[in-house]
Amino acid sequence: GKPSQAQALFQPLAKQRSYYGFLAADQAGVPYHLKHADTPVKPSERAAVRRLPGIQRALELRALQRDRQARREWYYATKKLGKPQLQAAATVAEEINWHDQAIFTLAKTHYWDDLELRFPLRHHSLVKQQAQQHQLDEAWIFAVIRQESAFMRDARSHVGATGLMQLMPATAREVARYLQQPPPRKKTLLQPANNIALGSAYLRQLMDRLNNHPVLVTAAYNAGPHRVNRWLPKQTMAADIWVELVPFKETNQYLRRVLAYSVIYDKRLGREPKRLREKMRPVRPDLL
Over residues 147-180, the pLDDT tens digits come to 999 999 999 999 999 999 999 999 999 999 999 9
d(CA 164, CA 146): 8
Nearest CA-CA partner of 203 in 138, 272, 156: 138
Q: What is the pLDDT of residue 186?
A: 86
CA angle 47, 57, 113 (to 5 degrees): 50
Instruction: Note whether 113 and 35 are within 8 A (CB).
Output: yes
Q: What is the pLDDT of residue 286?
A: 83
The residues facing 48 across adjacent strands are: none
Indicate which residue of 45, 148, 272, 278 is catalytic: 148
The residues facing 156 across adjacent strands are: 162
Weakly modelled stretches of the chain, pLDDT under 50 = none
Pseudo-torsion of CA 132, 136, 142, 146, nearest 10°?
Answer: -140
- Examine the residue annotation and report whether 116 is marked as an active-site residue of this protein: no
Q: CA dist 146 to 118, 141, 153, 178, 211, Å?
A: 9, 9, 12, 25, 24
Q: Name the strand (E) or helix (H) holding 234.
A: none
Give the amino acid at 42: K
d(CA 276, CA 288): 22
Q: What percent of the chain has pLDDT over 70?
A: 99
Length of the chain in terms of residues written:
288
Q: What is the pLDDT of residue 242?
A: 98
Residues 6+ apart with CB under 8 A from 114: 36, 37, 38, 39, 106
pTM of the predicted protein model:
0.97
Q: What is the pLDDT of residue 288?
A: 66
